[in-house]
A and B are shown apart, each in its own frame.
Chain A
Amino acid sequence: GDSVTQMEGPVTLSEEAFLTINCTYTATGYPSLFWYVQYPGEGLQLLLKATKADDKGSNKGFEATYRKETTSFHLEKGSVQVSDSAVYFCALSDPTGNQFYFGTGTSLTVIP
């Protein structure tokens, strides 16, 4: 069945460092791909999404490109801030929208 595999954490970076969190997926057809973020004490919120191959989602300096050839949707940011400290979840919605799968989450801590 469909699934999402996400890079294990936790990840600790210094402020202004480059961030990559890997996400690969297994799916039939053409799913939609998402990154959600969960700040401490808050609910999950959508960070960015891509609905077809080669689409690039971007928001708040974060980017991810839907790569069908490598079945990947890696999250990147060029210069992280302390306020980016959170748990990041990669997620997949199957083409019908009937199934939604989350990765296990990657905890990011950014230190000044």
Chain B
Amino acid sequence: EAGVVQSPRYKIIEKKQPVAFWCNPISGHNTLYWYLQNLGQGPELLIRYENEEAVDDSQLPKDRFSAERLKGVDSTLKIQPAELGDSAVYLCASSLGSETYNEQFFGPGTRLTVL
């Protein structure tokens, strides 16, 4: 069974440029998560989807970040414009549902460097 797929794996851009990350969750997983992981820190939730609906985006900086999950399958996270402080690893995860006991399966992440 294929795991969570993310692309690109690495991205280097100059500040003020836009950037987008793509995630394809495990087939059949209704819940999709985007996390931000700074160096030496644990992942921090940015947004959670149940199917195509964003049910928790309270931690998403909406002035520059946006996300979508059309058709409730794959998802895109966008930053426009990027700032130096956005350099981090962006993780996508999926689970069968959002019940507390459900395991989240993580993709390898996209490492973003903003110059």
Contacts and interface: CB of A to CB of B under 8 A. Distances in A.
Contact of B42 (A31, A42, A43, A103): A103
Interface in A1-59: 4, 6, 31-32, 34, 36, 41-46, 49, 51
Interface residues of B, number: 27
B101 A43 contact: no
A104 B40 CA distance: 7
Given A94-B100, A98-B98, A105-B42, A43 B4 contact: yes
A79 to B, nearest CB: 26
Nearest to B109: A43
Nearest to A42: B108
B6 to A, nearest CB: 8
Contact of B104 (A4, A42, A46): A46
Taking chain B's interface residues, is the majority helix, strand, or loop, or is none over half, making it mixed? loop
B70 to A, nearest CB: 23
B99 interface: yes
Contacts of B42: 4, 6, 89, 91, 101-105
A104 B41 contact: yes
Contact of A95 (B40, B45, B100): B100
Contacts of A45: 105-106
A91 B104 CA distance: 11
A34 B99 CA distance: 14
A112 to B, nearest CB: 26
Best-surrounded residue of B43, B56, B97 (most CB of chain A within 10 A): B43
